[in-house]
A and B are shown apart, each in its own frame.
Chain A
Amino acid sequence: MTNEGIPTRNVLLAGVGGHGVLALSRIVAEGALAAGFDVRKSEIHGMSQRGGSVVSEVRYGEDVRSPLIPEAAADVFVSLELLEALRHLHRLRPGGLLLVNDQRITPAPTGSGPVDYPEDAVERLREAAQGARILPAHDIAVELGEPRATNMVMLGAFAAFTPEIAATVWTQMIETTFRPTLRAVNLAAFQRGLEIAAEA
Chain B
Amino acid sequence: MPNRILLSGNEAIAEGALEAGAHFACAYPGTPSTEILETLSRRGGIRSEWAPNEKVAYEAAYGASLGGARALVSMKHVGVNVAADPLFSSSYAGVNGGLVLVSADDPAMHSSQNEQDNRQLARAAKIPVLEPSDSQEAKDFTLRAFGISERFDTPVMLRVTTRICHSMSPVETERDRSWPKAPLRDYERNFHKHVLLPANARPRHAFVERRMEELEEFATGERDLNRIEWGDRTVGVITGGVAYQYVREAMPDASILKLGMPHPLPRDLVREFADGVDEIYVVEELDPFIEMQVRALGIPAIGKELFPLTGELNPDLVELGFRLSGNGLPSRDNQLDIGGTAPSLPMRPPVLCAGCGHRGVFYTLSKLGLIVTGDIGCYTLGALRPLESMDACLCMGASIGMAHGMEVALRAGGDGRRVVGVIGDSTFMHSGITGLINTVYNGGSSTVLVLDNGTTAMTGHQDHPGTGVTASGAPGGRVDITALCRAIGIRRVRDVDPYDLEALESALAEELSADEPSVIICRAACRLVDRTPIAPSVHLEIECPGCGTCFELGCPAIDERDGMAVIDPDVCCGCGLCVQVCPFCGLRIEGYDTAGAV
List chain A positions with a Cβ less than 8 A from chain B: 16-17, 26, 29-30, 33, 38-47, 49-53, 64-73, 83-84, 86-87, 89-90, 92-94, 96, 106-113, 115-118, 124, 127-129
Contact = CB atoms under 8 A, between A and B. Distances in A.
Interface stretch (B189-197, B498-506, B533-541, B551-559): B551-559
28 contacts: A33-B5, A39-B168, A41-B167, A42-B168, A45-B166, A46-B31, A47-B111, A47-B350, A50-B351, A51-B351, A51-B556, A52-B348, A52-B351, A67-B163, A70-B319, A84-B348, A90-B335, A93-B334, A93-B336, A107-B347, A107-B349, A108-B554, A110-B346, A110-B384, A110-B554, A124-B339, A128-B336, A129-B336
B199 interface: no
A99 B165 CA distance: 28
Q: State which size class the interface on B falls in.
A: 35 or more
B31 A67 contact: no
B384 to A, nearest CB: 7
Interface string B101-145: 000000000110000000000000000000000100000000000
The 9 closest A-B pairs by CB, nearest first: A46-B111, A111-B385, A52-B350, A47-B350, A50-B350, A67-B167, A42-B167, A108-B556, A107-B348
Interface stretch (B202-210, B240-248, B301-309): B240-248
Interface in B306-362: 314-316, 319, 332, 334-339, 342-353
B528 interface: yes
Which secondary structure characterizes the binding site on chain A? loop
Contacts of B556: 51, 108
A169 to B, nearest CB: 13
B570 to A, nearest CB: 8
Given A44-B162, A67-B242, A107 B4 contact: no
B458 interface: yes
Contacts of A16: 348
Contacts of B334: 72, 93-94
Which secondary structure characterizes the binding site on chain B? loop
Contacts of A90: 335-336, 338, 342
Contact of A107 (B170, B248, B346): B346
Contact of A44 (B110, B335, B348): B110
Contacts of A106: 559
A184 B558 CA distance: 34
B174 interface: no
Contacts of B384: 110
Contacts of B345: 83, 86-87, 115, 118
B109 to A, nearest CB: 10
Given A65-B245, A128-B336, 11 more contacts: A42-B163, A44-B110, A47-B111, A51-B348, A68-B246, A70-B319, A71-B316, A72-B332, A92-B336, A111-B386, A115-B345
A112 B166 CA distance: 30
A128 B167 contact: no
B249 A66 contact: yes
Contacts of B332: 70, 72-73
Contacts of A66: 242, 245-246, 248-249, 314-315
A151 to B, nearest CB: 17
B247 to A, nearest CB: 9
